[in-house]
A and B are shown apart, each in its own frame.
Chain A
Amino acid sequence: MYYIDPHVHMISRVTDDYERMARMGCVALSEPAFWAGFDRGSDESFRDYFRQLTGFEPTRAAAVGIQHFTWLCINAKEAESVSLAREVISVIPEFLDRPNVLGIGEIGLNKNTLNESTIFREQVDLAMKTRELILIHTPHLSDKFKGTRMIVDMLLEDPRVEPERVLIDHVEEHTVRVARDEGFWCAMTLYPLTKCTPARAVDIIEMYGDERIMVNSAGDWGPSNPLAVPDFIMEMRRRGHADSKIKKVVYDNPLEFFRQARNFKFVPPDTVLDDERTVIAK
């Protein structure tokens, strides 16, 4: 089955992972900007990071037939430094017209601090001024419920925000309704220990339906599995769900959300291209 991984940090993965994902049916992915595992020293580090996300990673993905899209921001953890965050925010517009950029993300909260919320609002403001989609990171573990509620509060206080243009990520049993009841899209991250397992993600789909929801691997430099979406597909099949239902979650829903991005140009996998990559048949 073709699928899209809407959140995976390929900068942290080897080329073999791209190949394995392609073999399992991945035809597109989106890679949000995130924390590198250490705090970067200047806005120039982020400029180089954004060059990698908009240049090198799409090239690596294309080599195995995967279309690579990305999101730009300063992540919630490094947003604790308000001055650095503002310098990075000033760099982002240089890259927004790159062909694989879907919007601003993954912005959000980490420890639910005032500094994080200040920079969150400033990045939402940037997205509104530049007419970009927003991808949101919600905090880990005990901070998640409180932080998700705070994020929704901040989004609702800005009348320019259209919920259908915002994706709230890393939802679990206790936050899925917080996100969806206000009209936002949401996503479940499939992790070995924290966040959701594939089985729990299927439980959530069974309980709350398949509208405005998707699943991702969030594969990164920590314990994670870039093939977690195929694991979700297998769990859905084991429970007897129809392929059409599975496809809605792993392919149709990400496409429906991404199509709102002004830069999103997706070539379906059954499209025939000529030598200059012009579509000649579908």
Chain B
Amino acid sequence: MTAALAANAVLDRVYLEIRCKLLDVAACLDRVERAEGGDRVQSDPRLMQIKQGIGILSSGQLDRAERIQMLFSDAYIANWNRREKPATNGAERR
């Protein structure tokens, strides 16, 4: 199934919505920065993640939402279930 609307019709629908959300993000970032200790949280990893996310927004390609999801995701560890050491927390491994 593909999108049923043409791009200009989609843009007509979402333009004000995007504008509103951008303003929300801008105001939230301002709020953090002008709060007491705002300068000290500038290196908080969460804020760094958010800034990376903003970078993804302004990049090209179609998968911006998926890339932002991955930015906020823990890494998968391949073969996590095939380690040979016994568990130390009472759980059983297979």
Contact = CB atoms under 8 A, between A and B. Distances in A.
Interface of A: 82, 112-115, 117-118, 121, 141-146, 149-150, 153-154, 157, 172-174, 200, 203, 205-206, 209-210, 238-241, 245
A150 B13 CA distance: 39
A118 B81 contact: no
Contact of A114 (B65, B72, B91): B91
Interface string B70-94: 1011111100110000010111111
B63 to A, nearest CB: 8
The DSSP consensus for interface residues of chain B is loop
Contacts of A114: 87, 89, 91, 93
B3 A206 contact: yes
Interface of B: 1-5, 10, 13, 63, 65-66, 69-70, 72-77, 80-81, 87, 89-94
Contacts of B77: 146
Given A149-B76, A157-B81, A238 B13 contact: yes
B69 A153 contact: no
B3 to A, nearest CB: 5
A115 B2 contact: no
Given A145-B76, A239-B4, A241-B4, A115 B70 contact: no
A241 B89 CA distance: 51
B65 A200 contact: yes
